[in-house]
């Protein structure tokens, strides 16, 4: 499923899909079948699109952008597989996860395989800086996941900790994708940094928006029930804002509701109402919009044209999407 604002690179995103299948056919070994099934199930392909668009900002898209975009999508796929194992998730985008289909052991190995193949695909271009960018993104994503686990279940988590966590877990790979695209076309240092800032701030807004949708989104469009983060005791920005705004009696009531295992419908409704009363949805979306503003500022430092217009439209999509 390609996002409508990405029509400019839709043909090349199809080539990225083909590259993914080809890489797995050549190197997937015994895990080739499960890996192909995962990528053929679709996705937004936002991260590879960022690679393609960032490279196009600075001239004709080099052929190597397809391979780098495929590598970035493999890193993303690996992170989703590992997340599903850690979170014991059986459903993603309305489809069974690899963990649900093949079990934890195969899923972990498949995630590891994808990470290795992604790094190999980048290394084949023989530019050390590209490998460094991808490796740093993987390290940042892992650190973000560790932070999430560390703070899971802690209602006293500070917003700053949450923001650092999503910067690693989500924004780091979008930042890397944009940096890689600019590097591929040998953009100048300031231009590369502008692209990277765009990707970082886009990623921050994307994850905050995602966390809002997890509470107030439409389950039919999300392909999963709302409230999963609360059920897993992952306290995202809307919850943390409401908790910090609340007085001790409200906090005690919230803590009491959270002692239910599993979290029942009535308790979930009460928690959502509590967040509504504290204006947490509006507060979260306002912060996401500030990140969007920073991304727009970064884009102004890049060359104007159809590619920059597409990236601007992508910012609108992040704030208006329903899934």
pLDDT at 58 over 90: yes
Q: Does an H or E element contain 91, and which?
A: strand 91-92
Q: To which residue do tokens 């890397």 refer?
A: 176
Number of H helices, E strands in the chain: 17, 2
φ, ψ of residue 94 to 5 degrees: the values are: 75, 5
- Given a cut of 90, whether residue 211 has pLDDT beyond it is yes
Which numeric CATH code is attached to 8-320? 1.10.600.10
pLDDT tens-place string over residues 143-177: 999 999 999 999 999 999 999 999 999 999 999 99
Cβ partners under 8 Å of residue 276, min gap 6: none
Please check whether residue 250 is in contact with residue 256, taking contact to mean a CB–CB distance below 8 angstroms: no
**Given a cut of 80, is residue 215 above it in pLDDT?**
yes
Q: What are phi and psi of 118, to 5 degrees?
A: -65, -45
- Tell me the domain boundaries of the chain: 8-320
Cα torsion angle, 60, 62, 67, 71, sign: negative
Cβ neighbours around 265 below 10 Å, total? 8
pLDDT tens digits along 118-130: 999 999 999 999 9
Q: Is the pLDDT of residue 298 over 70?
A: yes
The pTM of the full predicted model, rounded to 2 decimals, is 0.93
At 217, give phi and psi (nearest 5°).
Answer: -75, 175
Q: How deeply is 227 buried, as exposed, middle or buried, from its count of CB atoms within 10 A (0-12, 13-18, 19+)? A: buried
**Is residue 75 packed enough to be buried (19+ CB in 10 Å), middle (13-18) or exposed (0-12)?**
buried
**CA angle at 89 for the pair 254 and 255, rounded to the nearest 5°:** 10
CA angle at residue 119 from 117 to 123, to 5 degrees? Answer: 115
Distance CA 121, CA 73 (A): 12
Judge contact between 214 and 186, C-beta under 8 A: no
Rounded-to-integer distance, Cα 135 and Cα 172, Å: 11
What is residue 301's predicted lDDT score, i.e. its pLDDT?
A: 96
Q: Mention every residue, 6+ apart, whose C-beta is less than 8 A from residue 39.
A: 17, 20, 21, 24, 73, 77
The residue to which tokens 């009535």 are assigned? 266
- In this predicted structure, the answer to whether residue 42 has a pLDDT above a threshold of 60 is no
pLDDT digits (tens, 9 = 90+) for 220-261: 777 678 899 999 999 999 999 999 999 999 999 999 999 998
Q: How many residues does the chain have?
A: 323
């Amino acid at each position: 499923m390609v996002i409508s604002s990405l029509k400019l690179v839709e043909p090349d995103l199809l080539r990225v899909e083909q590259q993914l299948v080809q890489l797995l056919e050549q190197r997937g070994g015994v895990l080739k079948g499960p890996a192909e099934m995962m990528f053929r199930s679709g996705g937004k392909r936002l991260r590879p699109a960022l690679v393609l668009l960032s490279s196009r900002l600075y001239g004709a898209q080099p052929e190597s952008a397809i391979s780098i975009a495929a590598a970035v999508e493999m890193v993303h796929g690996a992170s989703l597989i590992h997340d599903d194992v850690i979170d014991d998730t059986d459903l993603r985008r309305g489809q069974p996860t690899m963990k649900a289909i093949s079990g934890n052991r195969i899923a972990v190995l498949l995630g590891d395989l994808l990470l290795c193949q992604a790094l190999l695909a980048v290394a084949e271009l023989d530019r050390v800086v590209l490998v460094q960018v991808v490796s740093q993104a993987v390290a940042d994503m892992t650190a973000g996941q560790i932070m999430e686990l560390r703070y899971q279940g802690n209602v006293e988590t500070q917003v700053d900790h949450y923001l650092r966590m999503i910067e690693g877990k989500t924004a780091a790979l979008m930042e890397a994708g944009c940096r890689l695209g600019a590097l591929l076309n040998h953009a100048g240092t300031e231009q590369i940094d502008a692209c990277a800032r765009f990707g970082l701030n886009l990623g921050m807004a994307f994850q905050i928006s995602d966390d809002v949708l997890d509470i107030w989104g439409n389950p039919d469009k999300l392909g999963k029930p709302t409230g999963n983060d609360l059920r897993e005791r992952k306290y995202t920005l809307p919850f943390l804002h409401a908790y910090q705004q609340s007085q001790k009696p409200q906090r005690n009531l919230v803590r009491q509701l959270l002692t239910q295992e599993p979290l029942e419908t009535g308790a979930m409704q009460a928690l959502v109402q509590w967040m509504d009363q504290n204006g947490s949805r509006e507060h979260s979306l306002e912060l996401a919009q500030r990140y969007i503003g920073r991304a727009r500022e970064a884009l102004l430092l890049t060359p104007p044209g159809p590619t920059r217009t597409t990236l601007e439209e992508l910012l609108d999509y992040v704030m208006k999407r329903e899934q």
